[in-house]
A and B are shown apart, each in its own frame.
Chain A
C-alpha cells in the first residue's frame, strides 16, 4: 500500500503489509509492541545470564530502559518521526540500566540522529538510521567484545543494507532484519567462549532480537502475549527431576537434539508434540534445539518421526522409564531430598565428596549440596550459584575440606546475601556443625555455635599412598595405607586394620563415646563389616555406626565423638 499522504499512518488494518513510510505515530506503536514482546520474554532473557553480577538481569534492564523511553512518548501525539525518535532516545538514555541498557540507549541515539527532524522515514532512511545506530554503539567502547548485543547490531545493519537493495517495503526489510538478528544471536557462542561454556546465547543480543521481533509480530497481527511454550536455555534444562515419578502413559522418555529447519514454528511444534505425549520440554542452545517428551510404549517412535519433519535430527536417546523406575527403587540413588527453606530462614550449603555423605547431610537439614572434595575442589562460581539459588538471604557454608575454605569465603564475599563460612575441614566436622542448625535462629549465633562444635570431633581419614614420600618424619611407600588425624599424617601401615587402630588410640578413643565410619567406593562392604567387628571387640562400650559415604580415594572417613 503506497499511501499518497506519506505523513498519514500506513499501518492500520493492513492485511498484507506493504509499508513504504513510517511516521511518528507508527513508530510509537512499534515501540509499544516491542516493549510488550520483550516483557513477555523477559524471564527467558534473564535466564541467559552467565556473569554472576548483582544487576545481571539483562531482560529486566533492557525492559526498564525501554519502559523509560515509553514514558517519554506515551503522551506524544506528534506525527513527526524525528521528534518521536529523539524522545525515545532521550527516555532510553534517562532510564538506561546495566551494560545492555546503555548500549540500547546508544542504538536509539544513533537512530534518532539520522531521523533528525524528518516527518517520516522510508527504507533508505531506515537503513541509514540502523547503520548510524551501529556506529554510535561501537563508538562507546574502546574494546568492543564480539558475541554480544554489539555484534547483533552490526549484523542487523549489514542485513538491512542488502535487503533494501531488493525492496523498499519496510515490512519486508524488517522481516529480513529479524531473521538476521536470529542468526546472529545463535552465532554468539562461537564468538564468545564464556557463552559456549554456559551453553547459552548472548542475553543482550537476544533482548534486541525480541524488540525487533515484537515489531514484526505486531505488523503480522500476531499475539504479543507470552507464548504458552516455555523455551529455556539448554544449560538450565533439568531432566533429572522428571524421573522421580511417572504416570500411566509415560512408559518411554525420548530426547532428541535437532537443528530446526528455516520455517520452524515453536508453537506448532509444541502443540503437535502434546498430541503424542506429556512432560514436554524444549531447550534452545548453540544453534540447536533439544526436545524431551514422555510417551506410551506404542508411540515411542512417533516423536522421532515428527521431529524429523521439523529439522535435522542430530541425536536421539530413548529410555524405558518403567525399567528405570524399578532400578531407581532398588538402588539407593534416589534424588536427594533437601530441607526446604523459607525466605528469612537460615539455610546451609555444604560440599560433599560422595552420594552417601550427601544423603546424610540432606537428612540433617542441609538445603543444597555442591559436589567436591579432595582432588575435585568446586569453584567459587559453583558455590555462589548454590547460595544464590536458595530462596533465603541468610546462608551458612560448610566447606568440609581445608582446600575449599578459600573458595567458600570468596563466594561469601561475592554474594549479595548474608553468607557466613564455618571453616569445617573435614566431613565429621561438617556433620558436627550441621547438628547445631536451627533454621529460625540468628545467623551470627548459629555460626558461632557451629564454629565451637568443630573442636568437639576428632577426624580420621584413611587412604592409600599414591607415591613414596617422607612427611612429618613419616616414611610412606607407595601402596601403603596411610592415616590422617585432623589432617595431619600420623603413620603409614601395611593394612587397613593397623591403620584404623593406630588412629583410634592416637585420637584418644578412650575419652570418646561414639565411632562413626563412612566407607568409600574403593572398599567392599564385607571388609567394612569385618573391621567393624574387630573394633567392637576391642572397644565393646563404644557405640559404632557405619554409613556408606560413597567418597572416592578414602577407604574410610572416621568420626570420633
Chain B
C-alpha cells in the first residue's frame, strides 16, 4: 500500500541472461543459420552450438540496452530483410520479457552458409 512495502528487494538480470534471450530470438528468425563470435580465429566463422550467449554483446547504461549480434545467414536469402527481422524480433522479445527499453540492435552478418548452390 505504501512505497516501502512494495520494495521487496532488487532484481538483477545478468548480461548472460539477456544475451541468451537475444540469441534465441535470432536463431528462431528465418534466414539465420548460426551465430559467430566477434573475433574470428583465422578468418573462419565458427558455428556455435554450445554456449547460448556467445555471438552477442550486451551494453546496459542503466536505462536502456544496446545489443550487438553476429550472425551467419543462409546463402540465397535477402540479407537485408533477414537482418531487419532479426533486429525487430530481438527488440520485441527483450522489451517483452525484461521491460527495459532497447535503443539499438546492431546486426552484423559475419558470413553466409551455402547449403544449396543454385
Q: How far is the CA of A136 from the CA of B77 in the complex (A)?
A: 11
Q: Are A102 and B30 in contact (CB under 8 A)?
A: yes
Q: Are B31 and A102 in contact (CB under 8 A)?
A: yes
CB neighbours (8 Å) of A52 from chain B are: 92
Could you say which of A94, A139, A407 contacts B99, with CB atoms under 8 Å apart? A407
Chain A 466-489 against B: per-residue CB contact (8 Å), 1 yes, 0 no? Answer: 000101100000000010100111
Q: Are B84 and A140 in contact (CB under 8 A)?
A: no
Chain B 1-16 against A: per-residue CB contact (8 Å), 1 yes, 0 no? Answer: 1111100000000000
CB distance from A476 to the nearest CB of B (A): 8
| Chain B residues touching A, range | 20 to 34
A314 within 8 A of B: no
Q: A139-B115, A471-B1 are in contact. Are A145 and B28 (CB under 8 A)?
A: yes
Chain A 390-422 against B: per-residue CB contact (8 Å), 1 yes, 0 no? Answer: 000000000000000011011001100000000
Q: Which residue of A lies closest to B5 (CB)?
A: A471
Q: How far is the CA of A459 from the CA of B115 in the complex (A)?
A: 65
Q: A109-B76, A141-B29 are in contact. Are A406 and B99 (CB under 8 A)?
A: yes
CB distance from B50 to the nearest CB of A (A): 14
CB neighbours (8 Å) of B4 from chain A are: 471-472
Q: Which residue of A lies closest to B102 (CB)?
A: A413
CB distance from B101 to the nearest CB of A (A): 4
CB neighbours (8 Å) of B81 from chain A are: 96-99, 101-102
Chain A, range 42-82, C-beta contacts under 8 Å to B: 51-55
Q: Are A142 and B84 in contact (CB under 8 A)?
A: no
Q: How far is the CA of A140 from the CA of B82 in the complex (A)?
A: 10
CB distance from B80 to the nearest CB of A (A): 9
Q: Are A51 and B92 in contact (CB under 8 A)?
A: yes
Q: How far is the CA of A406 from the CA of B63 in the complex (A)?
A: 12
CB distance from B83 to the nearest CB of A (A): 10
Q: Which residue of B lies closest to A139 (CB)?
A: B115
Could you say which of B5, B29, B30, B116 contacts A469, with CB atoms under 8 Å apart? B5
Chain A, range 93-125, C-beta contacts under 8 Å to B: 93-94, 96-99, 101-103, 105-106, 109-110, 112-113
Q: Are B30 and A487 in contact (CB under 8 A)?
A: no
A380 within 8 A of B: yes
CB neighbours (8 Å) of A380 from chain B are: 95-96, 99
Q: Are A413 and B3 in contact (CB under 8 A)?
A: no
A541 within 8 A of B: no
CB neighbours (8 Å) of B28 from chain A are: 141-143, 145
Q: How far is the CA of A409 from the CA of B100 in the complex (A)?
A: 10
Q: Are B78 and A94 in contact (CB under 8 A)?
A: yes
Could you say which of B74, B89, B99 contacts A140, with CB atoms under 8 Å apart? B74
Q: Are A484 and B1 in contact (CB under 8 A)?
A: yes
CB distance from B6 to the nearest CB of A (A): 8
Could you say which of B2, B78, B115 contacts A102, with CB atoms under 8 Å apart? B78
Q: Which residue of B lies closest to A141 (CB)?
A: B30
Q: A52-B92, A98-B81, A141-B33 are in contact. Are A136 and B5 (CB under 8 A)?
A: no
Q: Are B74 and A139 in contact (CB under 8 A)?
A: yes
Q: Which residue of A lies closest to B76 (CB)?
A: A109
Chain A, range 359-383, C-beta contacts under 8 Å to B: 380-381
Could you say which of A51, A96, A488 contacts B3, with CB atoms under 8 Å apart? A488
CB distance from A474 to the nearest CB of B (A): 9
Could you say which of B1, B33, B74, B88 contacts A53, with CB atoms under 8 Å apart? B88
Chain A 275-317 against B: per-residue CB contact (8 Å), 1 yes, 0 no? Answer: 0000000000000000000000000000000000000000000
Q: Are A103 and B99 in contact (CB under 8 A)?
A: no
B107 within 8 A of A: no
CB distance from B116 to the nearest CB of A (A): 6
Q: A136-B116, A471-B1 are in contact. Are A105 and B27 (CB under 8 A)?
A: no
Q: A140-B74, A380-B95, A380-B99 are in contact. Are A103 and B30 (CB under 8 A)?
A: yes
CB neighbours (8 Å) of B32 from chain A are: 141-142
CB neighbours (8 Å) of A484 from chain B are: 1-2
Chain B, range 24-77, C-beta contacts under 8 Å to A: 24, 27-34, 74, 76-77
CB neighbours (8 Å) of B96 from chain A are: 380-381
CB neighbours (8 Å) of B27 from chain A are: 141-143
Q: Which residue of B lies closest to A97 (CB)?
A: B81
Q: Are A140 and B33 in contact (CB under 8 A)?
A: yes
Q: A469-B5, A471-B4 are in contact. Are A99 and B85 (CB under 8 A)?
A: yes
- Kindly name the residue among A96, A142, A488 whose own CB sees the greatest number of chain B CB atoms within 10 A: A142
Q: How far is the CA of A94 from the CA of B77 in the complex (A)?
A: 9
Q: How far is the CA of A487 from the CA of B4 in the complex (A)?
A: 11
Q: Which residue of B lies closest to A410 (CB)?
A: B99
Q: Are B85 and A102 in contact (CB under 8 A)?
A: yes
CB neighbours (8 Å) of A413 from chain B are: 95, 101-102
Could you say which of A53, A140, A406, A469 contacts B31, with CB atoms under 8 Å apart? A140
Q: Are A93 and B89 in contact (CB under 8 A)?
A: no
CB distance from A348 to the nearest CB of B (A): 22
Q: Are B2 and A96 in contact (CB under 8 A)?
A: no
Q: A410-B101, A472-B4 are in contact. Are A140 and B92 (CB under 8 A)?
A: no
Q: List 24 A-B contacts (CB under 8 A).
A: A54-B88, A93-B78, A94-B78, A96-B78, A99-B30, A101-B81, A103-B30, A105-B77, A106-B77, A109-B76, A140-B31, A140-B74, A141-B28, A380-B95, A407-B99, A410-B101, A413-B95, A413-B102, A414-B91, A471-B1, A471-B2, A472-B2, A472-B4, A482-B1
Further 18 A-B residue pairs, CB within 8 A, beyond A140-B31, A471-B5:
A55-B84, A93-B78, A102-B81, A105-B78, A139-B33, A139-B74, A140-B30, A140-B77, A141-B27, A143-B24, A381-B96, A406-B99, A410-B101, A413-B95, A414-B91, A482-B1, A484-B1, A488-B2
Name the 6 nearest CB pairs between A and B, nearest first: A96-B78, A413-B101, A140-B74, A489-B2, A142-B27, A53-B88
